[in-house]
Structure 1
Amino acid sequence: MSFESQGNPEGTFPSSSRRPPFFFREEYAGLIVKGNFMTLAAKPKLVEEGEWLAHQVVEQYRLLEQMIDIIKVVDDRTGRICNPDVCPTMSASGHTYTWLDNNKNPIKIPAIQYINLVQKWIVGKINDPSIFPTDTTSPSFSAATYASGSLTPMSTPQPLGPTNLNAPLSQLSGREWLGKTSGFPETFESDIKSIYRQMMRCYAHIYHGHWLDPFWNVSAYKELNTCFVHFINVGKLFGLLGDKEIEPMQPLIDIWLAKGLLPPLPQPKENVPVTAGGAPQAAPA
């Protein structure tokens, strides 16, 4: 869907002007709240980082889900706003995102089907106690409190082998990973990066495919901006998103950076290759 061919909501521009899409223009980059989003993203001092990121990922998905619900509204004329006829592929600004079929082959599917599968996959991850543990008395939590990271059937800690007492404390305590002390699995960081990457694709499609209809038409584009700037802030602050992943939305992010809404953040950690699963018929590519 080309926004250049649909006219400007507040006037028209000649096609030769090659103006950027509406959502990449400063006049449409406003939010429904004021202030620095760093205060919402910053980890409280006494909260373990894994716990904080688990909370943030769940909250970010809750906000995204509300935006997705808007593009699923049924239009009397065309059916769902996002449908296979309007959005035959999951795409955004020249990027086409594929899904993995049962044989792990990348396939192109309609955007609404892709988004539905992403939602089911993310909910499956969040509700999986082996990834997002909620029972701190479970063996997975207890095991994380011991250097050996394992327990016998009688719940007796397994001793480690001989160690070099001159070694660094981090080495003496065994292998470390994000969220270990709170009971999160060793794959937790790669899992939440994979979840965040899929949410980023959903936001990119929502902007490039549906900013004008429905978000502009129902005066909800500032709500979309507010959810997205919060999402980006958390993703960049904790290294959950790389430059390549945010590329389809970089011009809007640059506007917010220039306005001081997103202070310059450190470069993200290198993404760990992951195989996303959990969807009933396929997996994210």
Structure 2
Amino acid sequence: MSFFNSIGRTMQRSGPRGGPKRSPTPTSTISTTSTLVDHVPPASPSVSVPGTQKPLYLCSPFVEAALVKGNFKTIVMLPKYVDIMEWVAVNIFDFFQNLNMFYGVISECCTQHSCPTMSAGATLNYTWINQDRKSVQLPAPTYIDYVMTWVQNLLDDENTFPTKSGQDFPASFPSTIKHVYRQLLRVFAHIYHAHYPQILHLRSEPHFNSLFAHFLAFGREYELLDIKDVRGASNAPAVGIGALWERWREMGILES
């Protein structure tokens, strides 16, 4: 029995997220070909303003808080005798489960009133492409609910995440996973931007930082994450999680 098959029963027991599953848009069902093909509108370069307060997650001691010391390269390497597709699938499952738990804890603070847009910084809002191929703004809790429900449905789909011995991963698996990665990155980015004080209140910053650093290192190791999705345009100053990425690289947590 393969490594991924050995956790199949665990995945099957997990079941869907709590509450009824909802359509990703008011007018359509979710699919990787129509409703999740979204983009980030061009943002104007960030300008440093004297007296502007740096985000808490970039400040000491919070930026250094971690459960894992050293470079994350060592824990993302492919183990011997494990198929790379299964290794990616297992890690995607773990990233999703952990991120879903973190968001569940702070979700009461993420409301349509407090987070009317899916923002990850003063100059960065994520938009959604609906079935009519139109870019729409969604409140952050709605956007995140659509993303997490979509990913859970993929995990439950044997045609995408096979759990039976001898069943191959589909040819579309790599492209699907890249799309999943981009969407989960946006959930991380919103939590850092809008809800890091709640993470600090729970004294969970070492756990959340380590989860995100692991997520970034794994995504870069297996080419699931484009650097532009993390830090934005290369000719503009990094903002939000892009600045965090660069800070962790300077600290030796992530690869240069």
Tell me, which stretches of 5 or more residues in structure 2 are unaligned?
1-48, 232-239
Tell me, which stretches of 5 or more residues in structure 1 are unaligned?
1-14, 73-79, 142-182, 265-285
Q: What percentage of residue pairs aligned between the two structures are identical?
A: 32
SS in 1 for 2:119: strand
TM-score, L = length of structure 1: 0.66
- In structure 2, the partner of 1:240 is 224
1:119-164: CA deviation from partner (whole Å, max 9, x where unpaired): 1000111111111111234xxx3xxxxxxxxxxxxxxxxxxxxxxx
- In structure 2, the partner of 1:28 is 62
Q: Contact conserved, 1:26 with 1:255, CA < 8 A, in 2?
A: no
1:114 to 137, 143, 162: 143
Aligned residues: 198
- In structure 2, the partner of 1:281 is none
List structure 1 segments (4+ residues) > 3 angstroms apart after TM superposition.
Answer: none
Give, in whole Å, the separation in 2 of the partners of 1:256 and 1:100. 32
Letter in 2 for 1:86: S
Q: Contact conserved, 2:70 with 2:252, CA < 8 A, in 1?
A: no
Give, in whole Å, the separation in 2 of the partners of 1:36 and 1:262. 6
Matches of residues 173-184 of structure 1 in structure 2 within 5 Å? 183-184=168-169
1:97 to 121, 126, 132: 126
Give, in whole Å, the separation in 2 of the partners of 1:205 and 1:25. 18
Give, in whole Å, the separation in 1 of the partners of 2:60 and 2:160. 40
Letter in 2 for 1:184: F
Give, in whole Å, the separation in 1 of the partners of 2:163 and 2:58. 40
SS in 2 for 1:17: coil
Check if 1:62 corresponds to 2:101.
no
RMSD (Å), alpha carbons: 1.6
TM-score, L = length of structure 2: 0.73
Give, in whole Å, the separation in 2 of the partners of 1:68 and 1:187. 28
Distance apart, 1:26 and its partner CA: 4.2
SS in 2 for 1:59: helix
Give, in whole Å, the separation in 2 of the partners of 1:25 and 1:254. 13
1:1-22: CA deviation from partner (whole Å, max 9, x where unpaired): xxxxxxxxxxxxxx94324211
Letter in 2 for 1:23: Y
Give, in whole Å, the separation in 2 of the partners of 1:63 and 1:35. 21
1:253 to 245, 249, 252: 245
- In structure 1, the partner of 2:181 is 196
Letter in 2 for 1:43: L
- In structure 2, the partner of 1:279 is none
- In structure 1, the partner of 2:155 is 126
Bigger-Rg structure (1/2) = 1
Check if 1:222 corresponds to 2:251.
no
Give, in whole Å, the separation in 1 of the partners of 2:175 and 2:60. 34
Give, in whole Å, the separation in 2 of the partners of 1:37 and 1:206. 21
1:99-122: CA deviation from partner (whole Å, max 9, x where unpaired): 233323221111001111111000
Give, in whole Å, the separation in 2 of the partners of 1:227 and 1:25. 18
